[in-house]
Amino acid sequence: MASALIQRLANDRVLIGLLLQQVFGQIDSSRPNTVFANDLIINPFFAVQLGKGAYLQNGDMQARCDWRNKAFWTPLPIRVGYALIKPKYTLNFYGEYQTSVFSRGWVKSALKHAYRLNISVQIPVGL
């Protein structure tokens, strides 16, 4: 199950939103007739167009709520990028830094610091 709210602001230069994802169906073999909820993933996002293809956004932020362990973990990513938009393709370059900013009772694996450099090519459908 997933739900999203998206809003454009400031003459479409700012995009904010919230995506919630909840997956059900993990079965515990010791309780064969019980279906559990996996982690609730909370993905708030924002993107600001800085002009001339440059942008700032929060990157792949996925806070997680573990229902069974009553635990919560929140990362904070910051991404700076540049999109070169051409008629037949778009090149997207970005750098991202992410760190953990809040953890309460989290026992699963989680990164303390992460770095990402990306170069991607996007080709419109129909070319």
Can you give the length of the chain in residues? Answer: 127
- List pLDDT tens digits, range 33-81: 666 778 899 999 999 999 999 999 998 889 999 988 899 999 999 999 9
Contact between residue 81 and residue 92 where contact means Cβ atoms under 8 Å apart: yes
In a domain, 53, yes or no: yes
Is pTM beyond 0.75 here? Answer: yes
State the DSSP string of 31-66. Answer: STT-EEEEEEEEEEEEEEEEETTEEEE--S--EEEE
- List pLDDT tens digits, range 103-126: 888 888 888 899 999 999 999 887
- List pLDDT tens digits, range 86-105: 999 999 999 999 999 888 88
In a domain, 79, yes or no: yes
In a domain, 93, yes or no: yes
Q: Give the contacts of 83 (CB within 8 A, at least 6 positions apart).
A: 53, 55, 90, 91, 92, 93
* Structural domain containing residue 38: 2-122
Q: Report the domain count for the chain.
A: 1
Of the candidates 81, 109, 84, 119, the one whose C-alpha atom is nearest the C-alpha of residue 97 is 81
In a domain, 114, yes or no: yes
In a domain, 106, yes or no: yes
In a domain, 127, yes or no: no
Residue 45's DSSP bridge partners are 17
In a domain, 94, yes or no: yes
